[in-house]
Structure 1
Amino acid sequence: MIPAAFGYVRPGSLSEALGQLGESGEGAKLISGGHSLLPMMKLRLAAPATLIDIAGLAELQGVTVGENEVVIGAATTHAQLEHHAEVAKALPLIPAVAHLIADPSVRNRGTLGGSLAHADPSADWPAAMLALDAKIDVIGARGARSIPADAFFKGLFETDLALDEILVRVRIPVIPGRRVAYRKFRHPASGYAVVGVAVVVDFQAERCAGGRIAVTGFADHAFRASSAEAALAGYAGQPDQAERLLDLAFTGTVPLEDRFADADYRTQLGRTMLRRALADAMTSD
């Protein structure tokens, strides 16, 4: 289908983009890679009056790998993160997740910031950001602020990002010695996660001393499986503890239902993905 008519502007700086966003009001939408917004516009599920193209803004570019933190600009593409050697060394979960996103054409155009701001309930990056304890830096008319990933995702396509704010960068702590894994069941048509599970665990003497478990695709937004996290200590692959972790991870959360996966099927997929992610983490370096 053809989208409704819209205006298009391409600001030359972040401050200019903020000004245009403020002037355009609720009728404006930011666009970077466009792989989430444009399909919705073609289906008339979104009809912004103005598109503000921020893909080329210098302030949103670049990846910095420090000793204690990795900083990723919002306009960084999935493909850049998939093939970034320094990021892979510091945060191996990042290229592992990037590699599983859709297909090469999407990975070459889609951006980290765009995915997070769009907050599709089946997107891959939200689970990674939750599991890695990321901070999401945004700026708006009232100034800049940093939002913990735990507080960023609110509901179906809903985040803590205000209408007049722009996601600028993501900051992720580097903690040596963690073991990580990401498993997802891909939707055969879209490549989105029917369920995806990211695991980041701390190991001491070949036993888990704690960690984080984040799930995407299962509910109306990505979430941390906090009850399961609390039961991670001492886990070394014991079948009985594994079953308890699987029970705790999904109990009390309302699963999504669609033509591809009803609640029961999605729950079984979630349990399987978590079981495999835990096994992967146990054997990773």
Structure 2
Amino acid sequence: MIPAQFEYSRPAGVQEAVRALADGGEDAKVLAGGQSLIPMLRMRLAVPSLVVDLGGVSDMRGVRDDGDALVIGSMTTHDQVLHDPMVREHAPLIVQATSTVADRQVRHMGTFGGSLAHADAAGDLPSVAVALDATFEVEGPGGRRTVPADEFFVDYLTSAISPDEVLVSVRVPKLSGWGTHYEKFNRVAQAWALVGVAAAVQRSNGTISDARVALTNMGATPIRARGVEEALIGAPATSDALASAAQRAGEGAEPSSDLSASAEYRTHLATVLTGRAVAAAGGI
């Protein structure tokens, strides 16, 4: 299909992009990597009056060290994230999840921030951001503000970004001494996750001293599996203890039923995949 007619803007800086969005109003759309927006334009599921292409904003690309955290520019491609040595060292969970995103072609074009801002419940990176307690730097006409990951994802395909704001970067705390793993189940290669689990586990003297677990596609937004975390922290680092904790994966989740899977099946998957993810993250 052919998209409806729209105006096009390619700003060179963040503030110029913000002004373009403000001028375009609520019908303006941001183009990052385009891997989600372009299909929606072609099917006319999105009919914007203006498309603001962020491809020319160099300040929104790259990864930098910020002491106890990494700052990842929102226009950094998935492939660049995958091969960045700082991300691989300090945030391996991001690498593990990003390596499962679609295929190489999509990873070369799609962007880290675009995937997060799209806020798809079946996307792999939102749950990772929640598990890592990431913070989002958003800029609009009123200046720049910080949004924690657990407040960023509001509803299905809805984030805390206002129509006149852009996601500039994501700040990810470094996890030193943690084991991480991303476990995903999909029906065919390169498909969206039926369910995914992002897990980070810290061990000390044979016990789990800390844990972070978040679920993909178990609700309209990423779900922090607080029950699993509570069961893990202080528990012995054994397969039985981890399997017992994984039984709480469905607590607080609201999985949907669709043509791909029922809510009951997704809950079963969450339990199984959580057990695998925390065991791999804990080195068990």
TM-score (norm 2): 0.95
**Which amino acid in 2 is paired with 1:237?**
T
Counterpart Cα distance in 2 of 1:177 and 1:12:
40
Q: C-alpha distance in 1, partners of 2:21/2:239?
A: 53
- Corresponding residue for residue 130 of structure 2: 130
The aligned counterpart of 2:153 is 153
Identity of matched residues, %: 39
Which position in structure 1 is the counterpart of 2:119? 119
Deviates most, 167-176 or 246-255: 246-255
**Which residue of structure 2 lines up, in the alignment, with residue 237 of structure 1?**
238
User: Given the alignment of the two structures, is residue 57 of structure 1 paired with residue 57 of structure 2, yes or no?
Assistant: yes
SS of alignment partner, residue 19 of structure 2: helix
> Number of matched residues?
283
What is the Cα deviation at residue 163 of structure 1? 1.3
C-alpha contact (below 8 Å) 1:237/1:282 kept by paired residues: no
Q: Structure 1 residue 205 and structure 2 residue 200: aligned? A: no
Partner of 2:173: 173
Alignment partners' CA distance in 2, 1:202 and 1:246: 16
Q: Is the 8 A contact 2:200 2:211 kept in 1?
A: yes
Deviations 1:98-151 (A, max 9, x none): 111000000000001111111011001101111111110001011111111011
For residues 187 and 163 of structure 2, the distance between their equivalents in structure 1, rounded to whole angstroms, comes to: 30
- The residue number in structure 1 matching 2:251 is 251
> Any stretches of 5+ residues in structure 2 without a counterpart?
none
Aligned-partner SS, 1:113: helix
2:26 is equivalent to residue 26 of structure 1: yes
Q: Which moved more, 1:117-126 or 1:58-67?
A: 58-67
Deviates more, 1:4-13 or 1:20-29: 4-13
The residue that corresponds to 2:263 in the other structure is: 263
* Structure 2 CA distance for aligned equivalents of residues 85 and 171 of structure 1: 16
- Residues 71-112 of structure 1, C-alpha deviation per residue, up to 9 Å, x if partnerless? 100000111111112210111112111111000000000001
Distance of 1:31 and 1:235 partners within structure 2: 47
- 2:55 partner letter: A
Larger mean Cα displacement after TM superposition, 199-208 or 20-29: 199-208
Q: Residue type of the partner of 1:111? A: T
Q: Distance in 2 between matches of 1:57 and 1:246?
A: 43
Q: Which residue of 2 aligns with 1:110?
A: 110
For residues 156-203 of structure 1, give each alpha carbon's deviation from its aligned partner in whole angstroms, at most 9, with x where no partner exists.
111111111110001111131111111001242752111110011221
TM-score using structure 1 length:
0.95
**In structure 2, C-alpha distance between the alignment counterparts of 1:209 and 1:151, rounded to whole Å:** 26
SS in 2 for 1:59: helix
User: In structure 2, the residue corresponding to 1:200 is in which secondary structure?
Assistant: strand
**Residue pair 2:203, 2:237 contacting (<8 A) in 1 also:** no
Find the aligned partners of 2:219 and 2:127 in 1 and give their Cα distance. 12
Question: Which runs of 5 or more residues in structure 1 are unaligned?
Answer: none
After superposing on structure 2, the runs of 4+ consecutive aligned residues of structure 1 that deviate more than 4 Å are: none
Distance 1:118 1:141 in 2: 21
The answer (yes or no) to whether the contact 1:65–1:90 under 8 Å persists in 2 is no
**Would you say the 8 A contact 2:202–2:282 is kept in 1?**
no
Separation of aligned partners in 1, 2:65 and 2:187: 33
Deviations for 1:18-38, whole angstroms, at most 9, x for unmatched residues?
A: 111001101100001000111
- Displacement of 1:225 in angstroms is 0.8
How far the C-alpha of 1:208 sits from its partner, in A, is 0.7
Is the contact between residue 202 and residue 210 of structure 1 (CA under 8 Å) also seen in structure 2? yes
SS of aligned partner of 1:250: coil
Letter in 1 for 2:11: P
| Distance (whole Å) between structure 1 residues aligned to residue 4 and residue 108 of structure 2 | 26
Q: Write out per-residue CA displacement over residues 225-270 of structure 1, whole angstroms, 9 at most, x where no aligned residue.
A: 112211112141342x334422322123221221111111111111
Alpha-carbon distance in 2 for matches of 1:82, 1:175: 17
Structure 2 letter corresponding to 1:89: E
- C-alpha RMSD of the superposition: 1.5
The equivalent residue for 1:274 is 274
